[in-house]
Amino acid sequence: MQIVTVILIVFSLSWPSLFHPTLQDIVPAPAPVNGSDGGPGTGPTTSSSPSPRSSGSPAQAPDVEVGRHFVADVAPAPALDGGGSGPPPEVVVAPPTPVVEKESESGTVSWCAVRDEFEDCQNFISLLKWTDGYIWKCVQRRTTEECLDAIKNNEADLINLDPGLAYIAFLNYSMKAIANEIYCNHAKSYSSVAVVNRKVCEENHGISVKDFKGRKSCHGGYSTATGWNYPVNYLKGLEDLNRSSDREIVSGFFSSVCAPSEFKGMGECSGCGNDNSSCSTSYHGHLGAFRCLVEELGDIAFTKEDTALLYSLEGPYNKSWSTKSINEFMYLCPQGGCREINGYPGNCIFGTVPANVIMAHNSISSEKRLAVLQTLQNATWVDALYSGKNGNGHLLSSSAQGLAAVKKLTRSYLGLSASISQAIQELNVKEVPATPSTDNPASDVSSATLQVFQQQWLVALFSLLLGIL
């Protein structure tokens, strides 16, 4: 009888371990997959993505509109009660908070104008025929980055972006493309080219980009498609530079670089004039890159195929600095050699770039989006805007001749440009070594095996006891 008593005591002490696993045996549930916003006019998801200055690894953007944070807000799991019995507590999931426009701005469409675009913006919107009762106005900010923040904070609605910056707006600011520019012959894309002085082409008929190593370069803007991303994508293929950042690639190849940035602290300004500590807005954009070449601050300019034609001495939009003839310049082909500048570079390009896009926040309502598109496609405004009065390329490109609604998801529309942007962001990610675990996996396995053996032994002993009784 004493033996039976001892067995019962041992069994009672071991009882909880039979039916209530320890904390180490509980496997945490996988993190929730981030949500995504798939269609026009829907609200944003809650997600986080690295800014252009981030060191986090940029995940590949899905072919959907995404929000600013990758991990959804989830109610914390209830604390474990140490193995008590009873039904689990009910989990209450709060309904998503609807995105509501500010009441005072609900009937307003605000276009964000960067710097000196503001005056032209006011002139342009005065020509619009407003639809559905929306009142249009201009909002001025100092940089594109500030405009993106304004749209995120519901202080503005629209901005026109080059595909490189559009990818950043899509990935980091929960924005989507709603309209794209149309160019000559109904084109919805343009070419990324390099322009150099004719003299260097005549001196070396087989000249290539490699011959410009150690020379000075002009770029329309950091992270822009034509001015930066496409050239960097080409340069990193010339040498084993895949482990370098984009700025290291460019500054390591050229002796000085002029690449103004719309994002604070991201410009490369060693070649932008006397003050190397700042990037002058005088050399911003496609015409700025060409101006940098004309003023001999650089030896090669990365820009659009028609920029030299538009802003040379004979060009329709020539400026006070346009002191050189178009005949003094040529296209530099990536495969080697040069080509006359006539607006049709053929295969003498670094890639085809999708047309610039008008971007809005994912939360824009379908009604407002439709009203915006109807207004922007108004014939009166189009005629006024594209009749030679937009030489500064404000709000829309100087070569734009119309607008069309974007019918694809933003990532699909940006296509190759988005893939190149993503690849360049991955160049800038510093590899973070994994933190070694302090746990001993072998010890965990041994402990779990021992616990299973103990439980099996107790069950067998209990069965034997019942047989004796």
Domain ranges (residues) in the chain:
1-25+435-469, 103-187+355-427, 189-353
- Give the pLDDT confidence of 86-122 residue by residue, as tens digits: 444 443 334 444 333 343 356 899 999 999 889 888 8
In which band, very low, low, confident or very high, does the pLDDT at 283 lie, cut at 50, 70 and 90? very high
Q: Mean pLDDT highest for which of 270-284, 403-417, 444-458?
A: 403-417
pLDDT at 459: 47
Per CATH, is 103-187+355-427 categorized as 3.40.190.10? yes
pLDDT value at position 450? 41
> To the nearest whole number, what is the mean pLDDT of the chain?
75
Q: For the segment 293-314, what is each residue's pLDDT rounded down to a tens digit?
A: 999 999 999 999 999 999 999 9
Sheet of 402-405, strand order: 159-161, 357-361, 175-182, 402-405
Within 8 A by CB and 6+ apart from 398, the residues are 287, 310, 317, 390, 391, 392
Alpha-carbon span 327 to 340, nearest angstrom? 8
> pLDDT grade, residue 388 (50/70/90)?
low
* Alpha helix ranges (H) inside 266-378: 285-294, 307-311, 366-376
Q: Which amino acid is at 11?
A: F
Residue with tokens 């005056």: 119
Residue with the bigger pLDDT between 298 and 385: it is 298
> Which of residues 303 and 28 earns the better pLDDT score?
303
Q: Which residue has the higher pLDDT, 169 or 79?
A: 169
pLDDT per residue over 394-442, tens digit each?
788 888 888 999 999 999 999 999 999 999 999 888 544 444 433 443 3
Is residue 392 within 8 A of residue 310, CB to CB? The reply is no
Alpha helices per DSSP H over 100-222: 117-125, 144-152, 163-172, 198-203
How far, in Å, are 205, 244, 251, 300 from residue 211 at the CA level?
12, 21, 15, 11
Q: In this predicted structure, what is the pLDDT of residue 91?
A: 38
Of 75-79, 206-210, 273-277, the range with the lowest mean pLDDT is: 75-79
Predicted pLDDT at 25 = 38
| pLDDT above 70: percentage of residues in the chain | 64
pLDDT at 303: 97
Tell me the C-alpha distance between 145 and 281, whole Å.
14
Question: Domain 189-353 has what CATH class?
Answer: alpha beta
DSSP state of 104: G
Q: Which two tokens stand for residue 352?
A: 């085809």
Any residues with CB less than 8 A from the CB of 450 and at least 6 apart, and which? none
